[in-house]
Chains A and B, each alone.
Chain A
């Protein structure tokens, strides 16, 4: 009160205050906010920590900066202000959804927060990829090095079998379309339309207490993305430019011509011997291999020069340039605040024919209309243009070129055109030359995406706010492909050209309306939320395709003589939900929170339309108790526990209905067929989750951390229950089945060195153990050769296949363990060379046991260095997709991996590679031979930056100028034999089919140089 009086007396004086803000070591603090107490506008300190605040002399000013304790003091000229490092742990605010925000220290649920600083300007085109290794318990697998492809994200393990297990993405309050909308080349990622540099923070709601407010949609975790808002103060213009290039992280050693010839002749010899054919017989395997394989596919070159060799990886990998420009302008007054951004990204893939471009603009505007009404809008427009690659399981997938014979030259020696281009022999090479699809074909996906949300926020009375939001996510996509006649060997419809054009229009509306009531008493605080949400999504699709074009100059369907296909279709879903949340804090020590949501959806059966999802949680800040205050080293300690029920409604649209479909026409006449068996009681999957956590801070919060233990039990799993195919159906969807996930999460942040030379370390590590506890005997399988399987007692999607027992030293036969059950219950460990005698067993798991991220940040004067590792352990990958052809003891004419040189050759040889046998299967059946360790540690990012001296810069009116070098995926430590352990072939991807490699492109290694200027 005295202060206010004092301020009032000085009100008449108008003079500015200059000052400097620094930390305890004397280093200037950049961007500290300095405001006169009671006012909303102020200034920020510049790169040297200096600020000039008008009309402030003698007034109380408040100085705040992220990571430091706020300071309130009386302003005097040339004031030197020293801020102390944040002593109140977790003073940061965490977004909890529907207008909710809570101090991290008072949080009773588990929410991982990723701040913009950690992910800004990384060369990862999608935001989910940027989360990788940054949040404990969030597993991210980029799946492939193709640009803009779908990414696997699992929060605290896989909690579903048949339904989608990806988290719900909520952008500024709007649940956005995040499922693939691709009709070509594997699943793509609709998050690619979001400029991740617009993001202020990402909150991952992991436990039931945090997630229950999203009810039937929270079982896979909820990712809340909040974009940047305007700030009162001077307008800040920031320009970031970066450029560089990307290359594939690895090349795979393949056989060269001489090695290939050695192996295939040896294999042919075996087959000739087997069939008693003389080697020089015109119809012998040997003659065939020499004439019709090696000579034929090399245009006759092999017999002239058997040493000439071509690594087809050279033909399909490339160095891809990367360019990105970002402009962000941020500012405002106490009534109007704005943030606006523009981005252009142009990224060329490391595989030929792949390119991604994005242009995006955003404006976020917040307006104080009057003293009780705020309103605002956030809006982003983006165009993403992706020149896509075929899916992994296509002959036109460029990486399948490694199957081609190493003696096949890249170009037809007669025509100089790529091998297999007409008028040359189109049956050379061995398989279709995928380079032709890049040279003579094109498939582009062009997306226009609008994310928007407008809101009205009314202060109805003290503490009571009503907010209503209308949000939308419009996805308008055009896919266009044209394949010239040169590609006809692959694209059989392209005899005279083949084109197609597909449109996808998804309009997704969302309404949130809710009341927030906050009460702050002397000893207690209460905050409550009550509201409703309605979401309506409509997806419309249409497509046309045509063949027989006048010439290759005509590429649109308008010119196609034959309209070979056309379709339009639509699917909708709707959700109507009511929710409630209350948090109560007593004496800054005891916190209880409750939340619940009532969800109804068009996806559920008529007998189970509505579900209720409640959660309860509590926290105890022990360090605020008197008896703890004496423990000096302990700065903060909180215990918390939560329990709740959430659901998974990502079960597709209309799974509950018994249906006939009208897609069964024949010879131009319309037809219908029974297409789905119904289930009136079909509903969401239910996950009950308990979480126990400790948040702590030690040594004046130099060390802070979190430890969590959780148990998630999912029941009513939607299973595509296999039924006898004799019914005319192969499956019916039912809520049967149970699984569970249990795990620990550790987060540790340390300030190892403070002072001029700063060093901080952040570690997050999560252990998860998933187990399917009941699938009622269903056989659920998928992936390459149906090797991924759901087995009771194991994690979802384990590899189930016979166990390889190596090679019989006597005869080079591949051996398998029988593993049949003996009367005593043990497995028969004798081996057999008869594949059919070997039982399938669980030999691997594509889900990691342990995931971690490890970041070290160093800074000294103007220099900063960030080194970020992430890794996974305990998972296996399945390389059978490619291995059956390319690590297959020369079963086929495909080129083989160089490790096949270790094959068995004579009695007594000890090796794991069976004898080579042309067209006689020897060990290339599906087995644990092809299930390999997928663990890796990857140096995900290193960024080295330098901030130019601010005194010099100020002469040019530049606030900040930073130059930096950044490298992505620089090193990978792994035992994985193929390209990239972080893999999942798009052609086989499903919720249970993970960890498959099928000529899947590896991740890019990206090197960038960047410059960031702020005015």
Chain B
């Protein structure tokens, strides 16, 4: 064989050499390539800038449609306010929620769970690297406070959607949701967590929000402020029936935030169509939607193209005439509905790119009023003057006296279709349709996919 090769033509050698060269060209190093749109998790949180953009990522998670993009609010109204809404949508998960016949496979129950924990992991990533924020203590406090606020908000929503209400059995025994407070870098047995008790989750929420309120700045453009945290804390305490703490927190917001009720109720909406995307001052926390980013799920399901440019939606949630009849004549909120194609729709969510209000100031007045009324106190103001502040703003005359029912009715009308009703019913122990306030049908199922994966979870009763 060797002999043969030697006899070959010279040119063949050249070709052979060239071939050999080509064969060697591909060296192993060429296989070490990295993705372009992603970076290694090992060096994603190395600087203050990395932490800052991860915090933005946490807001992005919070904004996902399944949580504060609006699904949480939509679920609240479909389950808890079905007496006032005719739902004609076809998303099976929402149909079942509306009819309170949810199954463990409910896609919205799964979506909210997944998105909330995804956001929590983003918050935990920020908190785990908070020491990288070294430019100023104020900056560090702000970043930490925001991450705590977002995490606490997620846990608060989770525990009240997936756990039993306070007052329904023993909160220190009732299963809440698993508490995860560190970012996930890999999966091990310790990630298969059982549900912490309802009380344990609430304790964490209160601790986080309290700390967040102390760390956060008073103003922070569209991001969470001290007042966002205090307002959320007032909600938490109201849910827990800690009326003093709820009223105090609400009072701190009203007194401290420097914000006031928008004189024109109808200007609180259409933030994109009429307001260039800016929030009215009354918003204490909201999710900003732009043409490029974010979804307003309230718009998706409550909205409709009513002929105003920029309005859109699936027209799924039609407001019953009986609901509109609940408003007194002259109430600006009574005319805040639009008749289109034979059905009424709320004007609150027509704007396709409208920001999603999470908490606004009016709620704080009503919370303070209720807390003061129940405690027979006048912290900040009398219940009567707080209720009248809300009434006067929509063109209604002042009342001369208020009852608890007046306060809760005002709250119901003011905050209608903003995603309060399920928890209001539970808190006030009012039945929803045929379901008692503590009916298992009003509690979301732990998603089947989660039950299947994690054997240490227990399912809610009825699923």
Contact surface of A with B, Cβ cutoff 8 Å:
283, 291-292, 296, 372-373, 425-427, 456, 458, 460-462, 466, 468, 488-489, 492-493, 495-496, 511, 513, 531-532, 534, 536, 547, 562, 564-565, 569-574, 576, 600-602, 609, 653-654, 657-678, 722-730, 732, 779, 785-786, 835-836, 884-885, 892-893, 919-921
Contact = CB atoms under 8 A, between A and B. Distances in A.
B61 interface: yes
Contact of A667 (B19, B54, B183, B293): B293
A291 B54 CA distance: 53
A674 B41 contact: yes
Q: Interface on chain A toward B: helix, strand, loop, or mixed SS? A: mixed
A661 B293 contact: no
17 contacts: A372-B12, A458-B12, A493-B291, A495-B310, A513-B23, A562-B291, A569-B36, A570-B37, A571-B36, A659-B41, A673-B61, A674-B122, A725-B117, A727-B121, A785-B105, A836-B103, A836-B104
Contact of A670 (B30, B53, B122): B53
B463 A662 contact: no
B40 A458 contact: no
Contacts of A921: 95-96, 99, 101
Contacts of B242: none
Given A666-B59, A724-B454, 7 more contacts: A291-B342, A569-B36, A600-B31, A667-B293, A668-B292, A671-B53, A726-B450
Nearest to B352: A492
Contacts of A547: 291
A310 B350 CA distance: 33
Nearest to B119: A728
A725 B118 contact: yes
B57 interface: yes
Contacts of A728: 117-118, 120-122, 124, 180, 183-184
A678 to B, nearest CB: 7
A675 B38 contact: yes
A124 B84 CA distance: 55
Contacts of B290: 667-668
Contact of A661 (B37, B59, B191, B309): B37
Contact of A659 (B40, B53, B187, B315): B40
Nearest to A430: B88
B44 interface: yes
A488 B9 CA distance: 74
Given A292-B342, A458-B15, A724-B193, A536 B452 contact: no
Nearest to B448: A779
Among A571, A572, A658, A785, residue most surrounded by chain B Cβ atoms (within 10 Å): A658
B41 to A, nearest CB: 4
Contacts of B39: 659-660, 662, 672
Nearest to B306: A427
A462 B4 contact: yes
B210 interface: no
A727 B191 CA distance: 7
B117 A677 contact: no
B35 A677 contact: no
Contact of A665 (B4, B30, B293): B293
A671 B52 CA distance: 8
Interface in B55-110: 55-61, 63, 88, 90, 92, 95-96, 99, 101, 103-105
Contact of A672 (B26, B33, B54): B54
A666 B99 CA distance: 34
Contacts of B449: 722, 725, 730, 779
A1001 B350 CA distance: 34
B60 A671 contact: yes
Interface residues on B, range: 35 or more
Contact of A496 (B177, B222, B309): B309
Contact of A730 (B114, B120, B463): B114
A296 B340 CA distance: 12
A708 to B, nearest CB: 36
Contacts of B9: 372
Nearest to A729: B184
Nearest to A578: B23
A428 to B, nearest CB: 8
B294 interface: yes
Interface in B338-390: 340-343, 352
B32 interface: yes
Given A296-B341, A724-B191, A373 B15 contact: yes
A602 B26 contact: no
A665 B60 contact: yes
B326 interface: no
Contacts of A786: 105
Contact of A676 (B38, B99, B101, B288): B38
B37 A569 contact: yes
B5 interface: yes
B94 to A, nearest CB: 13
A496 B185 CA distance: 46
B292 A565 contact: yes
Nearest to A297: B341
Contacts of B121: 674, 727-729
Contacts of B191: 723-724, 726-727
A529 B57 CA distance: 53
Contacts of B8: 460-461
Nearest to B455: A777
Contacts of A672: 39, 44, 50, 53-54, 56-57
Contact of B187 (A425, A493, A677): A677
A664 B185 contact: no
B113 interface: yes
B175 interface: no
A724 B15 contact: no
A602 B122 contact: no
A297 to B, nearest CB: 10
B268 to A, nearest CB: 19
A751 B373 CA distance: 98
Given A458-B15, A574-B30, A779 B453 contact: yes
A488 B305 contact: yes
The 3 closest A-B pairs by CB, nearest first: A728-B121, A671-B56, A534-B26
B19 A669 contact: no
A511 B25 contact: yes
B28 interface: yes
B42 interface: yes
A283 B324 CA distance: 14
B436 interface: no
Contacts of B180: 726-728
A376 to B, nearest CB: 15
Nearest to A834: B101
A427 B340 contact: yes
Contacts of B41: 657-660, 674, 676-678
A664 B352 CA distance: 21
Contacts of A722: 449, 452-453
